[in-house]
């Protein structure tokens, strides 16, 4: 085990420790590719399967890595996210197993970012770690900032495999950590030790967060899909990643929108709705996909956010209901439907 002051620096240090070029899924969380470049490598993008974000398509991986190596690339690891940011989906156990088999065949280290695992909505719908299929080459990372919303109390934890490969990566990671952060701040260590022991109040808080995320995500999803946009079922986290390709002609004709960046700018300018375009996650400029995060809808103050967390029906709270109405109006505008009050 290695701890660090947040999962971001820990993941960056892991990429440094492994070295070479990492495979990243497309779409991918914004920091993986950026960190790979900072570490001196070049990310190798491999697409995911429909509805199974966060894990590169194993068949495509088996084609892409040998091709890259033949061209002189030094591909050493593959980064996965279970559950996924930006899509809120979970790769199936079968896909994760095939990914682990491919990584073994290609001699790749698997870096499995599992920071969202506690935010899977259905009790029996868990994310399966590649460590279950390739324990000798899988590094699992997590932290507390997502399940407990401890944004200011940064702590990241990596569990490294046993055996020669794990010991080599551990030695390099520990050497990097000793020169970069030495240790996590003592108050954060104490908070993390308490939280990782999973006392009842922490378990209850995480369960309440899951319920709130699911309730609001599903409400937003309904408003998005009502426009005709495509959206894979969200099974975890507070993120949605809809595809507005079915509305391309309408968006171009009515708004001059041809890609995710223009779509995000339109939503911000006309409706004050902030989203991220697909380009932030490694997709091409013309992709009409955006990532929506629902967490900002829960309230502006600590009082409102705690009320949302404990409400029997958070959708009935005035500030959440108002936010959902604004979201509905914004997406109705995209679809060319009448906007209430306009």
pLDDT-derived band at 339, boundaries 50, 70, 90: very low
Q: What percent of the chain has pLDDT above 70?
A: 98
Inside any domain, residue 25 = yes
Task: Select from 154, 175, 196 the last residue of a domain.
Answer: 196
DSSP 155: -
Same domain, 179 and 217: no
Same domain, 164 and 210: no
> How is residue 165 written in tokens?
């490969």
DSSP secondary structure string, 259-283? Answer: SHHHHHHHHHHHH----EEGGGGT-
Structural domain tally of the chain?
2
**Region 199-206: what's the mean pLDDT?**
95
Same domain, 117 and 241: no
**CA nearest neighbour of 161 among 120, 187, 133:** 133
Same domain, 42 and 139: yes
- Length of the chain in residues, anyone? 342
Distance CA(90)–CA(249), nearest Å, equals: 31
Residue 267 sits in a domain whose CATH number is: 3.90.1150.10
Same domain, 294 and 210: yes
Full domain range(s) for residue 68: 2-196
3-state secondary structure at position 229: coil
Inside any domain, residue 42 = yes
pLDDT in tens, 114-167: 999 999 999 888 899 999 999 999 999 999 888 888 778 889 999 999 899 999
Does residue 108 surpass a pLDDT of 50?
Answer: yes
pLDDT in tens, 22-45: 999 999 999 999 999 999 999 999
pLDDT recorded at residue 235 = 96
Same domain, 115 and 227: no
pLDDT in tens, 71-104: 999 999 999 999 999 999 999 999 999 999 999 9
Same domain, 47 and 192: yes
Inside any domain, residue 342 = no
Same domain, 188 and 227: no
pLDDT in tens, 205-231: 999 999 999 999 999 999 999 999 999
Task: Select from 196, 215, 233 the last residue of a domain.
Answer: 196
Same domain, 210 and 180: no
Distance CA(77)–CA(244), nearest Å, equals: 32
Q: Decide if 317 contacts 55 (C-beta within 8 A).
A: no
Same domain, 187 and 43: yes
pLDDT recorded at residue 46 = 98
pLDDT recorded at residue 44 = 98
Residue written as token pair 């109705």: 332
Same domain, 10 and 137: yes
Task: Select from 145, 174, 196 the last residue of a domain.
Answer: 196
Same domain, 161 and 120: yes
> How is residue 339 written in tokens?
């906007």
pLDDT recorded at residue 2 = 93
Residue 110 sits in a domain whose CATH number is: 3.40.640.10
Q: How far is CA 242 from CA 34, 116, 278, 290, in A?
A: 23, 19, 10, 6
pLDDT recorded at residue 54 = 97
pLDDT-derived band at 337, boundaries 50, 70, 90: low
Does residue 319 surpass a pLDDT of 90?
Answer: yes
Q: What percent of the chain has pLDDT above 90?
A: 88
3-state secondary structure at position 192: helix
Inside any domain, residue 313 = yes
Inside any domain, residue 340 = no
């Amino acid at each position: 085990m290695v701890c660090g002051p947040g999962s971001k620096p820990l993941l960056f240090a892991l990429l440094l420790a492994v070295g070479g070029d990492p495979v990243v899924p497309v779409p991918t969380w914004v920091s993986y590719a950026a960190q790979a470049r900072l570490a001196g490598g070049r990310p190798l993008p491999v697409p995911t399967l429909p509805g199974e974000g966060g894990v590169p398509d194993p068949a495509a991986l088996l084609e892409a890595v040998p091709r890259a190596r033949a061209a002189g690339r030094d591909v050493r690891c593959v980064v996965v996210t279970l559950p996924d940011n930006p899509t809120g989906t979970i790769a199936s156990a079968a896909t994760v197993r095939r990914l682990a088999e491919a990584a073994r065949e290609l001699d790749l280290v698997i870096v499995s970012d599992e920071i969202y695992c506690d935010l899977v909505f259905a009790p029996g719908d868990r994310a399966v770690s590649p460590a279950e299929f390739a324990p000798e080459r899988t590094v699992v990372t997590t932290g507390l900032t997502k399940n407990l919303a401890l944004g200011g109390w940064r702590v990241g934890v990596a569990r490294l495999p046993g055996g020669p490969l794990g010991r080599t990566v551990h030695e390099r990671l520990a050497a990097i950590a000793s020169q970069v952060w030495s240790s996590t701040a003592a108050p954060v260590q104490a908070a993390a030790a308490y939280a990782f022991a999973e006392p009842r109040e922490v378990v209850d808080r995480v369960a309440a967060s899951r319920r709130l995320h699911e309730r609001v995500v599903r409400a937003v999803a309904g408003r998005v899909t009502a426009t005709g946009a495509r959206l894979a079922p969200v099974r975890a986290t507070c993120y949605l990643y809809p595809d507005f390709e079915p509305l391309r002609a309408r968006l171009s004709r009515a708004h001059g929108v041809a890609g995710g960046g223009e779509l995000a700018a339109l939503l911000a300018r006309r409706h004050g709705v902030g989203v991220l375009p697909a380009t932030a996650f490694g997709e091409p400029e013309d992709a009409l996909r955006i990532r929506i995060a629902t967490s900002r809808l829960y309230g502006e103050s600590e009082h409102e956010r705690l009320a949302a967390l404990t409400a029997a029906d958070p959708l009935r709270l005035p500030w959440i209901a108002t936010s959902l109405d604004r979201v509905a109006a914004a997406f109705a505008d995209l679809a060319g439907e009448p906007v209430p009050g306009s």
